[in-house]
């Protein structure tokens, strides 16, 4: 990783600003394509015309059918927006975990956080019932993700696995155990409902609905803002605990809070998208390649690249086996697995 403390010249800041602005343009183009493609192709002009009329009725003359409007507004836009939120959320979680663990392989999937979230979601769907309505699944997914986080930290402390690589190994071990328990829940649950939990096991965005997007959006904004206000601490943590402590950071407490924030974001995202692996692993590395190691730039760049990446992963999932939707977790797992192998082979790792 590049030195996060190194000072940036005005020219470098201008270059980074250009990259971020370019990334925003790519995001808008990707969003347009994501809403346009599918079993029923919709022209980009129709996509933005529908959006304009929804925001300001009558702004554009309607030349499209009600059926196409329903496809664009009720199905594809919510799905694309959920993809952007999940991609951005998992990416900033991965970037933050890599900072506080000083491990380039840290990611909510490998540390067992995603598995804990899936366990909570499956328990809510098959055993507890929706006792809090639509909030039940996100709440239990967060509790499961938080429990998995605390178990990983407890196992690493019990085994004196304080090094970064051993922490990831502890996370992988706990992840296997939790997924075995989740499979047990599926086995003991109603067989007629088992197809529902496949959504959480393989990952997918097909259940996105406008009235439910507010929950991941609020969590992403609040938790993302909390992390963005603490980029100085994240920069210090990438150098080492001793350096961070000399700067007045309560290292153990700060690391724990970042893990809890990561569990909250991951749990809520898993509740609405299922297990989508490797986004938190890949995207922060790509962001650092583009903007350097300063977390003032890494976090927004990670969010942007994560949103773009998951949009295109969803495009691939919907087109490779059209008209059937491939689970998006298969796409991210395939790409992420290859990236993981490449990352392991880097001499700088």
How confident is the model over 83-124, as pLDDT tens digits? 999 999 999 999 999 999 888 888 888 888 888 888 888 888
> pTM of the prediction?
0.88
Q: Hey, is 335 helix, strand or coil?
A: helix
Nearest one of 83, 111, 80, 84 to 281, comparing CA atoms:
111
Output the CA torsion sign for 189, 212, 303, 256. negative
How confident is the model over 49-67, as pLDDT tens digits? 989 888 888 788 788 888 8
Say what percent of the chain tops pLDDT 70.
90
Alpha carbons 71 and 66: distance in angstroms, whole number: 9
Confidence of residue 82 (pLDDT cuts 50, 70, 90): very high
How confident is the model over 247-287, as pLDDT tens digits? 888 888 898 899 889 989 998 898 888 888 889 989 999 99
Say how many C-beta atoms besides its own lie within 10 A of residue 130's C-beta.
12
Structure tokens at 57: 């009725």
């Amino acid at each position: 990783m590049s030195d996060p403390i190194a000072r940036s010249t005005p020219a470098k800041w201008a270059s980074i600003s250009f990259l971020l602005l370019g990334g925003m343009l790519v995001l808008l183009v990707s969003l347009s394509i994501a809403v346009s493609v599918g079993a029923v192709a919709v022209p980009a002009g129709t996509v933005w015309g529908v959006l304009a009329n929804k925001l300001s009725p009558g702004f554009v003359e309607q030349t499209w059918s009600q059926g196409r409007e329903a496809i664009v507004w009720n199905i594809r836009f919510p799905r694309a927006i959920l993809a952007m939120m999940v991609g951005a959320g998992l990416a900033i979680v991965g970037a933050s975990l890599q900072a506080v663990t000083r491990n380039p392989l840290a990611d909510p999937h490998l540390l067992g956080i995603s598995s804990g979230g899936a366990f909570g979601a499956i328990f809510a769907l098959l055993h507890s019932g929706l006792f809090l309505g639509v909030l039940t699944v996100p709440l239990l997914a967060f509790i499961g993700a938080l429990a998995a986080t605390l178990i990983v930290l407890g196992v690493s402390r019990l085994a004196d696995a304080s090094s970064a690589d051993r922490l990831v190994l502890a996370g992988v071990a706990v992840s296997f155990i939790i997924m075995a328990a989740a499979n047990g829940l599926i086995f003991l649950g109603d067989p007629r409902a088992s197809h529902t939990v496949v959504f959480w096991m393989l990952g997918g965005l097909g259940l996105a609905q406008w009235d439910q997007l507010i929950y991941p959006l609020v969590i992403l904004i609040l938790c993302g803002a909390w992390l963005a206000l603490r980029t100085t601490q994240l920069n210090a943590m990438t150098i080492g605990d001793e350096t961070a402590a000399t700067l007045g950071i309560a290292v153990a407490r700060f690391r724990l809070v970042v893990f809890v924030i990561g569990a909250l974001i991951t749990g809520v995202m898993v509740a609405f998208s299922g297990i989508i692996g490797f986004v938190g692993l890949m995207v922060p590395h790509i962001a650092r390649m583009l903007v350097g190691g300063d977390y003032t730039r890494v976090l927004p760049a990670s969010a942007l690249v994560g949103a773009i990446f998951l949009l295109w992963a969803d495009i691939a999932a919907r087109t490779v086996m059209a008209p059937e939707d491939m689970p998006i977790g298969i796409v991210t797992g395939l790409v992420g697995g290859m990236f993981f192998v490449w990352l392991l082979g880097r001499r700088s790792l």
